[in-house]
Structure 1
Amino acid sequence: MNIVKVTSKTESDRLKIHPQRYKEVIFMTTSFQKLRTFTLPMGFRGRNAVVVQLWWVVQALLFHPSPQFLYGWRRFLLRLFGAQIGADVLIRPSARVTYPWKLEIGDHSQIGDGVELYSLGQITIGKNTVISQDCYICTGGHDPAREDFAIYQQPVIIEDEVWLAAQCFVMPGVTVRRGSFCKVRSLVTRDTCEGAIYAGSPARKTGDRRDLSPLMIDEKGARHDA
């Protein structure tokens, strides 16, 4: 048949393969991912499909549209679906929770506007912790080396008295230690140290909260030392 198989146009040129010399040139390409082979592991969501869909409907119709001041209502809805929510936790209505039965939040913590709690795996948030607006807490991903695009989950632990400033991204499997402060848009790829300050992408330690001096803030909340 005078057929040749190559892996790329570059290889075709290198071997001086020309269509007029061969009846057919077949380009063999590497398959990186075939989503038709993707399957969700048994019990991956932690609840059956009916409960999952019901939560998403409740979140869309009852959680998100609720007025900001109805923090107790949103705590109630999360607890109704298995979340462990401590006393006086403040969760803004625009925050999103994938699977509430995989979520634990300690007393007096605050979850800001647009926060994504992507709880494919367990998310544990300690007491007196602030997750500022548009942060993304990620507990899952896919294996880029596997053709079936296998999904996985890894828990994230955010300990007491942590502050994640706006738009921080926390990777699966990370533990953010007590008192850590991650500045705006930090990409947290590994465990932090207690009381440390982090910044950047990826986030690197830039200081310690114990060394900070209090800001000059007047009774009206205006800052004067900047």
Structure 2
Amino acid sequence: MNKVDLSNYNNTLSRKNQIARLLWSVVWMVFARPLPRRIGNSWKLMLLRLFGAKVHAKAVVYSSVKIYAPWNLEMHEYSCLAPEVDCYNVAKVTIGAHATVSQKSYLCTASHDVTVSNNPLIIAPIVLKGQSWVGAAAYIGMGVTIGQGAVVGATASVYKDIEPWAIVGGNPAKFIKKRVIND
């Protein structure tokens, strides 16, 4: 069997970062995950703030959400991380006012540089502008900005920025039509 040479691999995340994430994981698992759906939202927001998140008092975070690094999370008023969202925020994730990330979606701010033999970690932020909506089980890749009012259809995979008020879907996500609000 071939052995993998890890001697050239340097984890770019500090030991302090790793310890903070471990502590965070334990705190969330013990003090937030057991809470019933939407119960104790202000308590969960307080826990997030204790670990450096910038979350508006009117933001909503479900108990089953997985947040990798709360210090890299910013949520504005009436933004929502729905049940079982996986927020892998090695880099910053910003969720604008009235923006929703639906259940089982995956926000991924990190990957590996496959053009280098030791595949070093690479990161880039994700921004969801106000009034945007990420449908159920969608994937949002690193460095992506979802424009204001844009809609990402369920199960779509987004690797490039989405224009404001666009509706996209598929893998990779493609433009479907413009979003029109009829109030």
Residue 157 of structure 1 aligns to a residue in which SS? strand
* Alignment partner, residue 168 of structure 1: 138
Partner of 2:11: 40
Distance in 2, Cα, partners of 1:207 & 1:70:
38
Equivalent residue, structure 2, for 1:179: 149
1:34/1:149 contact within 8 Å kept = no
> Alpha-carbon deviations, 1:65-108, whole Å to 9, x = none?
12221111111100110000012111111100000000000101
The answer to whether residue 120 in structure 2 is matched with residue 150 in structure 1 is yes
C-alpha spacing 1:62/1:208, structure 2 compared with 1 (3 Å): same
Percent identity between the two aligned chains: 28
- Residue identity in the other structure for 1:64: R
Match in the other structure for 1:106? 76
TM-score under structure 1 length normalisation:
0.75
Change (3 A) 1:127 1:153: same
Note the aligned Cα RMSD (angstroms). 2.0
Which 4+ residue blocks in structure 1 deviate beyond 6 angstroms?
Answer: none
Partner of 1:55: 24
Structure 2 residue 56 is the aligned partner of structure 1 residue 86: yes
Label 1:53 to 1:86 Cα distance change in 2 as closer, same or farther (>3 A).
Answer: same
Question: Structure 1 pair 188/82, CA: closer, same or farther in 2 (3 Å)?
Answer: same
Q: Partners of 1:47 and 1:107 in 2: how far apart?
A: 31
Q: What SS is found at the alignment partner of 2:130?
A: coil
Amino acid at match of 2:27: V
Q: What letter matches 2:60 in structure 1?
A: L
- CA deviations 1:186-210 (Å, max 9, x no partner) are 1111001110100100001100111
Aligned length, in residue pairs: 181
Per the alignment, residue 129 of structure 2 pairs with 159
TM value normalised by structure 2: 0.92
How far the C-alpha of 1:36 sits from its partner, in A, is 4.5
